[in-house]
Amino acid sequence: MKRFRFLLAWAPLCAALLIGCERGGAPEDGKPSATATTASTASGTSPIEDYRKERMKEAMRGLRYEKGYVELDPEQAPAIAEEVRNETYEGLLSKGRTELDSGLSVEAIGTFTRAVIHSPQQAPAYEALGDALITKGRVNESQAAYTSAMGIADDSAELRFKVAQNIQRGGDLDGQIAAYGRVIELDPNHAEAHSRIAIAYYYKEEYAAAWTHTHEAERLGGVVPPQFRGMLSAKLAEPAN
């Protein structure tokens, strides 16, 4: 399973120049009202797009992300906190994960938002919110959620890995090398982090460093696709391992 998961991680990296592909959510349920359709048509916008924006806005209501971390909205969060007062944090987290696993990304964002408002000191709520947000392409908000999670619990290599993936999605090669390096500091046996550093060094044209991390990934049980090895060998002959 570890080898299969590692192989899957390489395919989009080699094909998309390190720009992560986002998993799309399930088709949106329901439809906008006739009134909304008429108004949207008159303004020249798509009624379906307007409806989706409103659903996302409602799902994210109660939290703010502008400062690079998650804050409770002082105007909206208190009312939502009252709504979820009789629910449990564990129940909200479980519900959100079920929704996310079912492809109901917007619903999951709404549920995880409520979980954060219910229990703002729980790092897993922020991490789960970040996971849901990235499925809808909300990279900045996802990173803010992960940053908030790290502010509570900064010793998780997998959380750091998610942060590094978001940096990778932005195409910052130096930033992702540093971020995946921090993953390795927490978990020296993290083969995927080495693999992603290797491919970042390849695109920086630092081929010796790319070979170093390729060899380390393989030593740790990672599977490096032959096509990447071929690309790297064409730039620099493989050094003795």
pLDDT at 44: 61
CATH of domain 47-155: 1.25.40.10
Please count the other Cβ atoms lying within 10 Å of the Cβ belonging to residue 150: 19
CA distance 189 to 216: 9
- Closest Cα partner for 133 from 158, 164, 100? 100
Give the start-to-end residue ranges of the domains of the chain: 1-19+171-241, 47-155
pLDDT at 140: 96
Give long-range contacts, CB 8 A cutoff, 24+ apart: 63-71: 63/113, 63/116, 63/117, 65/140, 65/141, 65/144, 65/145, 67/144, 68/143, 68/144, 68/147, 69/144, 69/147, 69/148, 69/151, 70/116, 70/126, 70/129, 70/144, 70/145, 70/147, 70/148
- Closest Cα partner for 9 from 197, 139, 183? 197
pLDDT at 223: 81
pLDDT at 15: 44
Q: For 1-19+171-241, which CATH class?
A: mainly alpha
The token pair that represents 108 in the structure block: 């999951």
* CATH topology match: 1-19+171-241 vs 47-155: yes
Which pLDDT tens digit goes with each residue over 209-227? 999 999 999 999 998 888 9
CA distance 64 to 14: 35
The token pair that represents 69 in the structure block: 């971390």
Residues 6+ positions from 176 with CB-CB distance below 8 Å: 18, 164, 167, 168, 196, 197, 200
Distances in Å between the alpha carbon of 215 and those of 17, 132, 175, 202?
A: 20, 33, 22, 14
pLDDT at 240: 83
Backbone angles phi, psi at 63, to 5 degrees: -125, 155
- Radius of gyration for the chain, computed over Cα atoms and rounded to the nearest angstrom: 21
Report, as ranges of residue numbers, the positions in the chain whose pLDDT lies below 70: 1-44
pLDDT at 30: 45
Phi-psi region of 30 (alpha: psi -120 to 50; beta: other; left: phi over 0): left
Helix, strand, coil percentages, rounded to 5, for the chain: 65, 0, 30
The token pair that represents 168 in the structure block: 């990778």
Pair 236, 211: CB distance under 8 Å: yes
Residues 6+ positions from 139 with CB-CB distance below 8 Å: 166, 169, 170
Q: Is 240 helix (H, G, I), strand (E, B) or coil?
A: coil
Model pTM score: 0.78
Residue type present at position 85: R
